[in-house]
Every structure is written in C-alpha cells, then in structure tokens.
Amino acid sequence: MDHSKPTRRTGIFFHYQDGERLRDFPEALAGVLNRDNVFLYDAFYPLKPPSSFELEPISEEVLRQVHTPEMVSEVKRSQAFQGALFSAAGTVAAATRIWRGEIDNAFVFTGYGDHHAGTDFYGGGCYFNGAAIAITQLRRHFGAGRLAIVDTDAHHGDGTWDIFEDDPETLYMCYCSGGPREINNKVNVHVPRRTNDEQYLQLFDDTFVPRVTAFRPEAIFWNWGYDGTQGDYGSLGITADVHIRLARTIKSAAGRVCQGRLIVVLCGGSHRYLARQLIPPIIGELAAQE
C-alpha cells in the first residue's frame, strides 16, 4: 500500500425498509463491509436487537429548521413519516460523524429522497430534504460555511433550489433537462433528454469540476439518482457505468477541495438490479485508496 495516498474511512447509513428496489440490501454490501475502513450505521434491521442500532432519528425541531411546521405535521400524518425521518437522519448522522472526524465520506441509503422537498412543499417521493437539514445542522453546531450539493438525479431539484435560492454560501449544481439558469450559486446545467455516456461525463467534467474547485466548499453532498439510466423512468440514454465514473470524479474533486468530505445521498431510480449493480461499487470507490 502506498501510504502517501490517503485511504478514506467510509460510513454507510442504512435503515431497513420494505419495497422492491433495496430488497438485496444490506446483504449485497457483504463485499464492501469486510473492508477495515468501511463502517455500517443502521436502524430497523429486523434481525438485530434495537439496542444495537446506531442510527438515531432526528427531532421535529431539527426538521423545522428547514421545513415549515405545517409541512412537518402533514408528513408526520402520512405513512411515509418513519421512512422519511430515517432517510434525513442518515444524512444528518453522516455529516455529523464526518465533522467529528470519525469518518471521511459516506453513503446514505434513503427510502425517500431529498431534492423535491422544499421549505413548505414535497412530492415525487421526497418528504424531507436531508442534505438541506444536514447543512443547517453543520452550520448551527459546527460553524460550517460554504457547502456544495451536486445533483445527478435525472429530474430538477426544485426543493433544494427553493431552500437555498437566497443563500450564496451553498453551491447547488443540478444536472437536468431544464434550461440553463443561475442565481446565487444555484446552477442549473442543461442535460439533453437524449445523451450518451461520453457527452454526459464531458458536460459534467467541464461544469462541475471547475466550479466546485473555485467555490472551495467544506464538504460536497451528492444527490445521486440512477433514474437517468437506460430503462429506468427518467432515462437520458446513459448506461450504468456513468455512475461509477461520476463517483470517481466527485470523490477526486472532494479530495482536492475539501479533505475528501463527501456524502452520497441516494435519490431516484427504481430498478432493483441497478441498485444491486451500482451501490456496492460506488461505496467501493468511496473506500478505495486515492
């Protein structure tokens, strides 16, 4: 092993949930969990006693620092509440453990994603905006400043945009089919509805890498959706391989600009085989020597 290159400590934040897409997990993580630098923080795993859970829920007060009390109450009355709560809690726990120096980067399994949840609205399978809640917590409790979110789900992150629209200290780069737009470091990068791997990755390299390098955030949140993969519901014509290559590019940028601090938050994507095919190697990239 070359000790001049860092090996990052990677946290996996997982809560057990029903449903098709993550049915192979956590078993499918066997190949990455055996590494010395990979740690699992979980909740609701039916085979484990509750006392061994390491993922705690977050309070309503914490939710209300991003979302209105009315919205929080509405989600609380829905069937999705517990899943939405632990999805956001995973992202908050990941960020907190990184700031405490326990891990360097993280992969957060979510039942419900982030980016369609705004200050007072939600939809499209998103209830609470975990990255936004984590950012608020980092600033409140650790004095964090500039932070970045990069969003490669196929759809526009209207919720994340809404929450940070007036905040130039949060860089948000959204790759979707909406037109190019920019305000206060909220950047929409237009992706053609039909593209291919090389075009997509070139567009990403040309736009994300220089922008995040110049911005110098203290951490990068990656709202990672695989719904743009061929055959999934937001298909852009890209193959599964794009996601692994994005993981390398984003991890390398985090290594250069923010000591490797990177939090991958699972967003859209429906196919179980793609989750199984992609999530273990993406975590493998996070945990790989640089």
Greatest extent of the chain over all pairs of C-alpha atoms, in Å:
53
Shortest distance in whole angstroms from residue 228 CB to Zn ion:
8
Instruction: Tell me the C-alpha distance between 21 and 227, whole Å.
Output: 12
Residue 173: which of 147, 197, 198 has the closest Cα?
147
C-alpha distance from residue 276 to each of 157, 197, 279, 280 (Å)? 25, 20, 6, 7
- Contact pick of 57, 178, 281, 284 for Zn ion (by CB under 5 A): 178
Count of chain residues binding Zn ion (CB under 5 A) = 12
210 CB neighbour count, 10 Å cutoff: 11
Nearer to Zn ion, 162 or 285 (CB): 162
Task: Tell me which residues in 229-248 interact with Zn ion (CB under 5 A).
Answer: 234
The reply to whether 188 sits near Zn ion by the rule CB under 5 A is yes
Q: Which one of residues 11, 83, 130, 268 is an interface residue with Zn ion (CB under 5 A)? A: 268
Comparing CB distances to Zn ion, the nearer of 11 and 113 is 113
Min CB(15)–Zn ion separation in Å: 21
Q: What is the distance between the alpha carbons of residues 232 and 33, in angstroms, rounded to a whole number?
A: 28
Closer CB to Zn ion, residue 156 or residue 261?
Answer: 156
Does residue 113 interact with Zn ion by CB under 5 A? no
Nearer to Zn ion, 11 or 234 (CB): 234
3-state secondary structure of 211: helix
Residue 18 CB neighbour total at 10 angstroms: 8
140-169 mask for Zn ion (x: CB under 5 A)? -------------xxxx-------------
34 Cβ neighbours under 8 A, 6+ residues apart: none
Report the interface residues with Zn ion, using CB under 5 A: 153-156, 174, 176, 178, 188, 225, 227, 234, 268
